[in-house]
Amino acid sequence: GPDFRLAALRVREHQTTRRFSKMSCLRLIVRPLVRGLTFPKRNTIIYSKSDVSAQRFTFCVLPYLKTFRQCSSSAVGEQKAEDSFLKWLLLLIPATTFGLGTWQVQRRKWKLKLIEDLQSLTTAEPISLPLDPMELKTLEYRRMRVRGRFDHSRELYILPRSLVDPEREAREAGRLASSAETGANVVTPFYCTDLGVTILVNRGYVPRQKIDPRTRQKGQVAEEVELVGVVRLTEARKPFVPQNDTGNNHWHYRDLEAMAKATGSEPVFIDADFASTVPGGPIGGQTRVTLRNEHMQYIVTWYGLCIATSYMWYMKFIRKIPI
């Protein structure tokens, strides 16, 4: 009858609705993922409550997925920018070490030229000693010839000092300790008979047990002598060097004004050469002209660091090999 037909029609409609509902849900979920998170068209037909849930998923969850995708892309971009900054920042290390190595090359050339100039001054023909202080300041390491007598009663002692021996110093270069015996340099007032002034002459080195002049009476020259020496200027006290003890006659650095005041002489100072040495007296020639020259070690160090860091930078940022 009519009731039976109506019931059958409702069952068929319910089955069709359920079938379309399942298909629409699958279509609404899969199609945006396949098409790059595109939203459903406006004319999408909603057949049931399950279709409403699918639509809510499409409009609520998928935008968050899209935002996550954009954030991931942004994070990747920021990471690339950070890597690029680190890449050029680390390139400063080999560039800096290369610059320091080149600077040491120039420093070594300057030091070798300075040593050559000093050696030429200390081997040049001696000249007469000028008394003009301004002229003397331009003549350090210049050889001078003077004639006169020593006043041994007013000796000064610069200590501790070791004997200047270039051959021994070359053998012991780089060692932490030296085998040289320590002593003192004997500075004696010298009255220049041809100039009529008293200057200070560093006669040379004596060992510690010979500092007392009574132990070297044979070397205390009394007659008039002619000697050649090298002009030296006053020097500033270096760090960790003690102050001069004028009361005990212990001098640790050349302070010409204080020395001249203590002996009543002019603030003129010369180092007597080795030829002035007499038996039993101080050993002359105590002018040290070998300047410290370790620039070759620095050159090797800086250029070595430049090569090593350049290789690491190349492997890390060019070859992309993890280090």
pLDDT of 179-214, one tens digit each?
A: 568 899 999 999 999 899 999 999 999 999 999 999
- Tell me, what's the pLDDT at 319? 82
- Tell me, what's the pLDDT at 301? 93
Sign of CA dihedral 206, 211, 216, 221: positive
Tokens of 99: 């610059």
CB 173: neighbour CB atoms within 10 A? Answer: 10
CA-to-CA dists, residue 305 to 14, 175, 298, angstroms: 82, 25, 11
pLDDT band at 291 (very low <50, low <70, confident <90, very high): confident
The β-bridge partners of 158 are 185, 251
* pLDDT at residue 243 greater than cutoff 60: yes
- Give residue 3's identity as a one-letter amino acid code: D
**Phi/psi at 125 (5° precision):** -65, 135
Residues 6+ apart with CB under 8 A from 208: 181, 182, 183, 184
Residue 142 in contact with residue 121, Cβ under 8 Å?
A: yes
pLDDT digits (tens, 9 = 90+) for 124-174: 899 999 988 889 888 999 999 999 999 999 999 999 998 887 566 555 555
Q: From CA 84, how far away is CA 86, in angstroms rounded?
A: 5
Of 60 and 244, the structure prediction assigns the larger pLDDT to 244
Which of 67-76, 173-182, 188-197, 291-300 is most confident?
188-197
Model pTM score? 0.61
Tokens of 30: 């899969």
Q: From CA 72, how far away is CA 63, in angstroms rounded?
A: 14
Residue 226 in contact with residue 275, Cβ under 8 Å?
A: no
Sign of CA dihedral 221, 224, 228, 231: positive
Sign of CA dihedral 41, 31, 67, 58: positive
